[in-house]
């Protein structure tokens, strides 16, 4: 079965160079063209682009602007800067933004073919490396989870004095072991979950449930840490409209991580949970606010 050709997007406001590039690349790749930056950005939403060639000097969005937008859309898309006007400094700026390489007009056919081939090879290499990392994380997490589950199970039996009576000091020590082991197990489960999401290997079980139950059970789960820090937990849940039809385990996991993060990074004060239907009443909005250290301002745009 023939594999699909890589998709190349040519962005250039000059017809001559744009059509020349198209003729050179067409026999080997699926080629798309855009005569302005704004058109190229729109095309990214519709086409699975693997590599772009970008003219630096264009009206409206410059080549540098386009390159920034491309990398925001997908950092793995490789980019080659093609220009007859830009200075070396401008080309270097493009490289700093993640361009693979640059070439000046008029360009050499063999050179541009070589650059495109190498750019696509680099993209494929990054994809393979990401898969290796994903497989490694998944395998290590599985190997860690099994013995850790046994540890948690036996500590639970000891804490409940199934095997024998405990002194007060032994009880406190085992409670610390149990709590930290559960946190580590939860961390491993999160790694496994994220790995499965990244490779698209995560099925969904759709059911109806109430957001109030998730909030109540989560607060109970982290009650020990809340009490130790002396935090106040305020809960504001709408009387109606908070029934959800979704995958409960996934919604619960996301909320647990956000709430646990709030508790973990709040040394004193309070954590407030608000749950209410959205304005169109088609979804439910969870909000977690705390008096902790907060997120650095320069990280807010990229945190999600």
**What does the chain come to in residues?**
304
Is the domain of 156 the same as that of 227?
A: no
Is the domain of 36 the same as that of 101?
A: yes
Q: What is the CATH number of the domain that holds 18?
A: 3.40.50.2300
Is the domain of 194 the same as that of 217?
A: no
Report pLDDT for 85: 56
81 part of a folded domain:
yes
Is the domain of 80 the same as that of 100?
A: yes
Is the domain of 233 the same as that of 179?
A: no
Which residue, of 173, 198, 223, is where some domain finishes? 198
Q: Residue 25 corresponds to which tokens in the numbers above?
A: 């690349």
Whether residue 182 contacts residue 151, with contact meaning beta carbons closer than 8 Å, is answered with no
Report pLDDT for 89: 61
Cβ neighbours for 67, distance < 8 A, ≥ 6 positions apart: 52, 54, 79, 81, 94, 97, 98, 99
**Residue 292 CB neighbour total at 10 angstroms:** 18
173 part of a folded domain:
yes
- Verdict on whether the full-model pTM lies above 0.85: no
Report pLDDT for 215: 95
51 part of a folded domain:
yes
Report pLDDT for 3: 57
Tell me the average confidence (pLDDT) per consecutive run of 10 residues in the chain, 304 residues long: 78 87 91 91 91 84 84 86 65 70 79 89 83 73 78 84 83 84 79 68 80 94 88 93 89 90 91 93 92 80 67
210 part of a folded domain:
yes
Whether residue 179 contacts residue 155, with contact meaning beta carbons closer than 8 Å, is answered with no
117 part of a folded domain:
no
Q: What is the CATH number of the domain that holds 262?
A: 3.30.565.10
Is the domain of 91 the same as that of 160?
A: no
160 part of a folded domain:
yes
Which residue, of 198, 226, 245, is where some domain finishes? 198
Is the domain of 218 the same as that of 283?
A: yes
**Residue 227 CB neighbour total at 10 angstroms:** 9
Domain that holds residue 18: 7-107
Pair type for strands 7-11 and 30-34: parallel
Report pLDDT for 201: 59
What total of structural domains would you count in the chain?
A: 3
- CA dihedral sign, ordered 96, 98, 100, 105: negative
Whether residue 133 contacts residue 125, with contact meaning beta carbons closer than 8 Å, is answered with no
119 part of a folded domain:
no
120 part of a folded domain:
no
Which residue, of 198, 224, 241, is where some domain finishes? 198
Is the domain of 194 the same as that of 212?
A: no
């Amino acid at each position: 079965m023939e594999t699909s050709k890589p998709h190349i997007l040519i962005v250039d406001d000059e017809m001559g160079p744009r059509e020349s590039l198209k003729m050179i690349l067409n026999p080997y790749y699926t080629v798309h063209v855009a005569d302005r930056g704004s058109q190229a950005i729109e095309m990214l939403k519709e086409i699975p682009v693997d590599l772009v060639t970008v003219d630096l000097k264009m009206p409206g969005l410059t080549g540098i602007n386009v390159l920034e937008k491309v990398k925001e859309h997908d950092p793995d898309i490789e980019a080659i800067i093609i220009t007859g006007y830009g200075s070396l400094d401008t080309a270097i700026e493009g490289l700093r933004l993640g361009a693979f390489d640059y070439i000046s007009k008029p360009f050499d056919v063999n050179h541009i073919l070589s650059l495109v081939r190498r750019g696509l090879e680099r993209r494929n290499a990054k994809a393979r490396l990401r898969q290796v990392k994903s497989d490694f994380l998944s395998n290590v997490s599985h190997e860690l989870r099994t013995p850790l589950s046994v540890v948690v199970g036996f500590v639970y039996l000891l804490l409940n004095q199934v095997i024998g009576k405990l002194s007060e000091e032994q009880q406190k020590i085992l409670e610390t072991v149990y709590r930290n082991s559960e946190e580590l197990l939860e961390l491993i489960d999160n790694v496994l979950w994220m790995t499965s999401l990244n490779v698209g290997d995560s099925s969904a079980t759709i059911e109806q449930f109430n957001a109030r139950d998730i909030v109540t059970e989560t607060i109970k789960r982290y009650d020990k840490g809340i009490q130790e820090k002396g935090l106040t937990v305020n809960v504001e849940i709408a009387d109606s409209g908070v029934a959800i039809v979704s995958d409960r385990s996934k919604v619960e996991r996301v909320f647990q991580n956000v709430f646990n993060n709030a508790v973990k990074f709040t040394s004193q004060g309070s954590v407030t949970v608000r749950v209410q239907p959205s304005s169109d009443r088609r979804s439910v909005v969870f909000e977690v606010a705390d008096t902790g250290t907060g997120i650095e301002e320069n990280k807010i745009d990229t945190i999600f």
